[in-house]
Structure 1
Amino acid sequence: MNAVEIEEAVSALVEQPFDAEEFPYLFLSAFGNKDTTIKRLRATKGSTNASDIPGAVLQRNNIHIATCPPGEVTRTLTALRDSPATSKAKAKFILATDGETFEAEELDTGETVACAYADFPNHFGAFLPLAGITTVKQIRESSFDIRATSKLNRLYVELLKDNPDWGTADRRHDMNHFMARLIFCFFAEDTDIFQVGYSFTNTVDTMTERDSSNTHEVIGELFRAMNTPTAERKKAGIARYADRFPYVNGGLFSGSPDVPRFSKIARSYLIHIGALDWTKINPDIFGSMIQAVADDEERGALGMHYTSVPNILKVLNPLFLDDLRARLNEAGDNARMLLNLRKRMARIRVFDPACGSGNFLVIAYKEMRAIEAEINSRRGEADRPSEIPLTNFRGIELRDFPAEIARLALIIAEFQCDVLYRGQKLALAEFLPLNAENWITCGNALRLDWLSICPPTGTGVKHSADDLFHSPLDQPQIDFENEGGETYICGNPPYKGSKWQNEKQKIELANAWVKFPHLAKITDYVSGWIARYLDYAEKVPDAVAAFVTTNSICQGQQASEIWPVAFARGIEIRFAHTPFHWSNLASHNAGVTVIIIGLGCKSTKSKQLFDDSSLVRDCNTIGPYLVPNRDDVVQKATDPIGRQSIMLFGNMPRDGGHLFLSTDEADDLRRNPQTSAYVKRFVGAEELIHGKQRYCLWINDEDAVTAKKSAFIADRLALVAKNRLQSQAGSTRDFAKRPYRFVQIGGVAKKNAIFVAGISSENREYLPCDYLPSEYIASNKCFALYDAPLWNMALVASRLHWVWIGTVCVRMRNDFSYSNTLGWNTFPVPTLTDKMKADLTRCAEDILLAREAHFPATIAELYDPEKMPADLREAHDRNDEVLERIYIGRRFRNDTERLEKLFDLYTKMTAGTGSKNKKKVGAV
Structure 2
Amino acid sequence: MNAVEIEAAISDLAQQPFDPAEFPYAFLEAFGNKATTIKRLRSGASNKSDLGGVLQTNNIHIAVADGGAVTQTLEALKASPATSRAKARFILATDGVDFEAEDLENGETVACTYEAFPDHFGFFLPLAGISTVKQLRDSSFDIRATSRLNRLYVELLKDNPDWGTEHQRHEMNHFMARLIFCFFAEDTDIFSGSGLFTDTVARMSARDSANTHEVISEIFHAMNTKQAERAAAGIPRWADGFPYVNGGLFSGSVEVPRFSKIARSYLLHIGGLDWTQINPDIFGSMIQAVADDEERGSLGMHYTSVPNILKVLNPLFLDDLREKLEEAGDNPRKLLNLRNRMAKIRVFDPACGSGNFLVIAYKQMRAIEADINQRRGEPNRPTDIPLTNFRGIELRDFSAEIARLALIIAEYQCDLLYRGKKLALAEFLPLDSENWITCGNALRLDWLSICPPTGTGVKLHADDLFESPLDQAQIDFENEGGETYICGNPPYLGSTWQTKEQKQDLDRIFGSRTKTWKTLDYVAGWFMKAADYGLHTPTVAAFVTTNSICQGQQVSILWPLIFDTGHEIVFAHTSFKWANLASYNAGVTVAIVAIANNLQSTKKIYSLSNANQTALKEVDTINAYLVAGKNIIVCPTDRIMSGLSKMDNGNKPVDGGHLLLEPDEVPILLLNEEEKSLFIRRYVGSQELINGRLRYCIWITDANRERAENIPSINRRIALVRDERLRSTKKMTRDTAERPHAFQQVRQTGDETLLVVPRVSSENRDYLPCAIMEPGAIMSDKVFALYDAPLWNLALIVSRLHWVWIGAVCVRLEMRFSYSNTLGWNTFPVPTLTEKNKADLTRCAENILLAREAHFPATIADLYDPEKMPADLRHAHEQNDEVLERIYIGRRFKNDTERLEKLFDLYTKMTATPNSAAKAKREAS
TM-score class normalised by the smaller sequence: over 0.9
Which of 114, 119, 131 is the equivalent residue of 2:116? 119
Deviation sequence 1:293-334 (CA, Å, 0-9, x none): 001111111011111111111111111111101100110000
Change (3 A) 1:440 1:872: farther
CA contact (8 A) 1:461 1:475 kept: no
CA contact (8 A) 1:354 1:493 kept: yes
CA contact (8 A) 2:639 2:920 kept: no
Partner of 2:792: 791
Deviation sequence 1:766-818 (CA, Å, 0-9, x none): 33332222232111111012232333223222332222112112234553221
Which of 370, 374, 398 is the equivalent residue of 2:371? 374
CA contact (8 A) 1:353 1:395 kept: yes
Partner of 1:479: 477
CA contact (8 A) 1:761 1:815 kept: yes
Letter paired with 1:815:
R
Task: Give the distance between the partners of 1:843 and 1:52, measured in 2 at CA.
Answer: 55
Task: Give the distance between the partners of 1:28 and 1:448, measured in 2 at CA.
Answer: 50
**C-alpha displacement of 1:198:** 5.7
Question: Is residue 2:359 matched to residue 1:362?
Answer: yes
Change (3 A) 1:465 1:886: farther
Partner of 1:650: 650
Deviation sequence 1:136-162 (CA, Å, 0-9, x none): 121112211111100000000000001
Partner of 1:573: 569
Partner of 1:757: 758
Which of 540, 546, 551 is the equivalent residue of 1:544? 540
Letter paired with 1:601:
N
CA contact (8 A) 2:640 2:827 kept: yes
Question: Is residue 2:67 matched to residue 1:99?
Answer: no
Q: Greater CA deviation, 18-27 or 367-376?
A: 18-27
Which of 148, 164, 170 is the equivalent residue of 1:167? 164
Partner of 2:716: 715
CA contact (8 A) 1:403 1:468 kept: no
CA contact (8 A) 1:634 1:919 kept: no
Partner of 1:309: 306
**C-alpha displacement of 1:121:** 0.4
Question: Is residue 2:425 matched to residue 1:431?
Answer: no
Q: Greater CA deviation, 402-411 or 853-862?
A: 853-862
Partner of 1:558: 554
Partner of 1:66: 63
Change (3 A) 1:467 1:884: farther
Q: Greater CA deviation, 876-885 or 247-256?
A: 876-885
Partner of 1:512: 509
Letter paired with 1:606:
T
Name the TM-score, length of structure 2 as normaliser: 0.95
Gaps of 5+ in 2: none
State the SS of the aligned residue for 1:479: coil
**C-alpha displacement of 1:859:** 3.6
CA contact (8 A) 2:629 2:905 kept: no
Question: Is residue 2:76 matched to residue 1:79?
Answer: yes
State the SS of the aligned residue for 2:246: coil
Letter paired with 1:34:
K
User: How large is the Cα RMSD of the aligned pairs?
Assistant: 2.5
Task: Give the distance between the partners of 1:88 and 1:789, measured in 2 at CA.
Answer: 54
Letter paired with 1:571:
H
Task: Give the distance between the partners of 2:670 and 2:898, measured in 1 at CA.
Answer: 51
Question: Is residue 2:607 matched to residue 1:611?
Answer: yes
Question: Is residue 2:232 matched to residue 1:235?
Answer: yes
Question: Is residue 2:526 matched to residue 1:526?
Answer: no
**C-alpha displacement of 1:501:** 0.9
Partner of 2:909: 908
Change (3 A) 1:408 1:868: farther
Change (3 A) 1:197 1:277: closer
Partner of 2:769: 768
Partner of 2:452: 455
**C-alpha displacement of 1:646:** 1.7
Change (3 A) 1:476 1:78: same
Partner of 1:420: 417
Partner of 2:48: 50
Partner of 2:673: 673
Task: Give the distance between the partners of 2:384 and 2:704, measured in 1 at CA.
Answer: 86
Partner of 2:135: 138
CA contact (8 A) 1:885 1:891 kept: yes
Which of 441, 460, 463 is the equivalent residue of 1:444? 441
Deviation sequence 1:355-388 (CA, Å, 0-9, x none): 0000000010010001001000111111111110
Change (3 A) 1:791 1:845: same
Partner of 2:401: 404
**C-alpha displacement of 1:549:** 1.0
Name the TM-score, length of structure 1 as normaliser: 0.95
Letter paired with 2:175:
F
Q: Greater CA deviation, 680-689 or 184-193?
A: 680-689
Which of 571, 580, 594 is the equivalent residue of 1:584? 580
Change (3 A) 1:234 1:471: farther
Deviation sequence 1:794-851 (CA, Å, 0-9, x none): 3222332222112112234553221111111111122344554455445444544555
Partner of 2:199: 202
Q: Greater CA deviation, 363-372 or 432-441?
A: 432-441
**C-alpha displacement of 1:250:** 1.2
CA contact (8 A) 1:675 1:710 kept: no
Letter paired with 1:592:
V
Q: Greater CA deviation, 204-213 or 610-619?
A: 610-619
CA contact (8 A) 1:749 1:787 kept: no
**C-alpha displacement of 1:733:** 4.5
Change (3 A) 1:261 1:864: farther
CA contact (8 A) 1:453 1:463 kept: no
Change (3 A) 1:855 1:402: farther
CA contact (8 A) 1:804 1:899 kept: yes
Q: Greater CA deviation, 698-707 or 89-98?
A: 698-707
State the SS of the aligned residue for 1:596: strand
Letter paired with 2:647:
M
Q: Greater CA deviation, 214-223 or 150-159?
A: 214-223
State the SS of the aligned residue for 2:666: helix
Question: Is residue 2:700 matched to residue 1:699?
Answer: yes
Task: Give the distance between the partners of 1:552 and 1:597, measured in 2 at CA.
Answer: 12
